Chain A
Amino acid sequence: MSFLTIDNATKSYGSVEVLHRVDIDVQEGEFLVLVGPSGCGKSTLLNMIAGLEDITSGTISIKGKSMNGVHPSNRDIAMVFQSYALYPNMSVAKNITFGLEMHKVPKAERETALRDVAKLLQIEPLLDRKPGQLSGGQRQRVAMGRALVRNPDVFLFDEPLSNLDAKLRVDMRTEIKKLHQKLGTTIVYVTHDQIEAMTLSTRIAVMNGGYIQQLGTPKEIYDTPANLFVATFMGSPSMNLIPVKILEENGGLVAETTNGLGETIKLPFATPPAGLKDYVGRTITLGLRAEALTDPDGADSKAVNLVTVKSRVIVMEPAGSDTFVMTEFGGQDCNARMRADVQVAPGEDVDFTINMDKVVAFDPETEDRIV
Chain B
Amino acid sequence: MDLKQKNRKTVRRLTLVAVGMFGFGFALWPLYSVLCEVTGLGGRAIQVEQNNSEAVASDRVVSIRFDASVNSSLSWDFKAKEKVSEFNLGVPSTAYYVATNPGSDAVTGQATYNVTPPEASLYFVKTECFCFTEQKLEANESKDMPVYFYIKPDLPEHIKDITLSYTFYRHGYDPSDRMANH
- Does chain A bind chain B? no
Contact surface of B with A, Cβ cutoff 8 Å: none
Chain A interface (Cβ within 8 Å of chain B)?
none
